[in-house]
Amino acid sequence: MIENIFRNSGKDYNDLGRYEDCLNVTDFHYILASVPRAFPIPMSIGLCIPNVCKASDFDTYKPFLVSGLNKIIPYVFEGIKGFDLKL
C-alpha cells in the first residue's frame, strides 16, 4: 500500500504525480491538493490514496501539514526572485 502512495503521488510542489498509474491501482484514487493563494505562486500536489481516504480527511490533519510545510517552505523557495520570508 505505502509503495503505491509513494510511487504515484507527487513529491515536490506542483508535482502532479502519476495520475494514470494511480487510477490503475485497485482500491486507490487520485486527488489534487491545492493551496491557491497562500504563497507567491499557487501550489498543488497530486496524491494517490486508498479509496477509504477522502479529501475531507485531510482537514483533520491540516494543522500538522501546515506546520510541516512552514518548516520546509524556506528551503523549497530559497533563491527564487520575489519570495522573501524575511519581510
Q: Examine residue 82 and state whether it is found in any structural domain, yes or no.
A: no
- Asked if 45 and 22 touch (Cβ cutoff 8 Å), the reply is no
Residue 12's φ and ψ, nearest 5 degrees, are -150, 170
Q: Examine residue 25 and state whether it is found in any structural domain, yes or no.
A: yes
Q: Which domain holds residue 29?
A: 2-76
Q: Are strands 28-35 and 43-50 parallel, antiparallel or unpaired?
A: antiparallel
**How does pLDDT run across 22-57, given as a tens digit for each residue?**
999 999 999 988 877 766 677 888 999 999 988 788
pTM summary value: 0.67
Confidence of residue 16 (pLDDT cuts 50, 70, 90): very high
Q: Examine residue 68 and state whether it is found in any structural domain, yes or no.
A: yes
Q: Examine residue 62 and state whether it is found in any structural domain, yes or no.
A: yes
Domain count, the chain: 1
